[in-house]
């Protein structure tokens, strides 16, 4: 079994996001970047499945600029066997990423495709679902537990009502939740070994994919500052303010 894992380079979740002065976007220069957190869970799960003897190869893939190699290298350092970087400049929207992944899947012929349930930068939560539609493969989204069977997967997924367990046939697309596992840290020896592992580089244009954005970003601005709260002397005063001022009851 071969598992393809998509990983995305995003601004580190610990960084305080700053908006550019002209409102054209957010500041990314000299800002710490890292792997999208749910993608770390996807890589960890793929490596665990391989360590259990149920997969023979884990391939990490990222779509983005040259610096996205760092994200692929991290995946290699925690256990992926080889990497692929599809180079594309600027913003690459979920549909374009899905079409790129479709081409890579057709080339690599994996049995499973893992990815995070959504990216923390655009928060779109679309790529996995779009890829499943393009490939006509079954999908299991928001996976918090995965059990590999002979020709299928049993996936426990998180939904609004609680947990839902489904079974999907292989090949399949799985989008991973943060509660799926605890991603391991890359050790220094493995980081050094990862530098020698293969990363294949492909231009998105060579795949015949148009990565031009379909959405025009007009303006980015910070949310309004929250007003300071007030103290009330009694429950009756609270009810009156909620009713007459906030008008929520």
Asked if pLDDT for residue 71 goes beyond 90, the answer is yes
Question: Please, which residues have CB within 8 angstroms of residue 169's CB and are 6 or more apart in sequence?
Answer: 138, 151, 152
**pLDDT for 28 beyond 90:** no
> Please, what are the domains in the chain?
2-244 (3.40.50.620)
Please give the mean pLDDT across all residues of the chain: 91
Percent of the chain with pLDDT over 70: 100
Q: What pTM does this model have?
A: 0.84
Q: Mind listing the pLDDT tens digit for each residue in 95-114?
A: 999 999 999 999 999 999 99
Antiparallel, parallel or unpaired: β 139-148 and 9-11: unpaired
The pLDDT of residue 229: 84
* Longest Cα–Cα distance in the chain: 69
Residue 118, exposed/middle/buried by CB under 10 A (0-12, 13-18, 19+)?
buried
CB neighbours (10 Å) of residue 76? 26
Mean pLDDT along residues 169-192? 92
pLDDT at 228 over 90: no
Residue 135's contacts (CB-CB under 8 Å, 6 or more residues apart) are 102, 105, 171, 173
d(CA 130, CA 139): 10
CA 228 from chain centre, in angstroms, equals 35
What is the full DSSP assignment across 117-148? S--TTT----HHHHHHHHHT--EEEEEEEEEE
Percent of the chain at pLDDT > 90 equals: 61
Mean pLDDT, residues 235-245:
90
The mean pLDDT of 177-197, rounded to a whole number, is 89
Asked whether 98 and 41 are in contact (CB, 8 A), the reply is no
- 73 within 8 A of 85, measured Cβ to Cβ: no
């Amino acid at each position: 079994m071969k598992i393809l894992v998509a990983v995305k380079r995003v601004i580190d979740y610990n960084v305080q996001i700053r908006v550019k002065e002209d409102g054209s976007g957010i500041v990314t220069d000299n800002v710490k970047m890292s792997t999208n957190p749910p993608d770390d869970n996807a890589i960890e799960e793929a490596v665990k499945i391989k360590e259990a003897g149920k997969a023979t190869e884990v391939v990490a893939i990222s779509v983005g600029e040259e610096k996205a190699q760092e994200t692929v290298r991290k995946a290699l350092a925690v256990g992926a066997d080889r990497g692929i970087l599809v180079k594309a400049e600027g913003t690459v929207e979920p549909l374009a990423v899905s079409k790129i992944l479709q081409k890579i899947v057709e080339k690599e012929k994996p049995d499973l495709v893992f990815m995070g349930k959504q990216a923390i930068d655009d928060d779109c939560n679309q790529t996995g679902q779009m890829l499943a539609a393009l490939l006509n493969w079954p999908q299991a989204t928001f996976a918090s537990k995965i059990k590999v069977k002979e020709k299928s997967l049993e996936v426990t997924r998180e939904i609004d009502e609680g947990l839902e367990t489904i079974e999907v046939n292989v090949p399949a697309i799985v989008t991973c939740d943060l509660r799926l596992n605890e991603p391991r840290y890359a050790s220094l020896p493995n980081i050094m070994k990862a530098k020698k592992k293969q990363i294949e580089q492909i231009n998105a244009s060579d795949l015949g994919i148009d990565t031009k954005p379909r959405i025009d970003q007009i303006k980015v601005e910070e949310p309004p500052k929250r007003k300071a709260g007030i103290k009330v002397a009694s429950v009756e005063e609270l009810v009156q303010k909620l009713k007459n001022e906030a008008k929520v009851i």
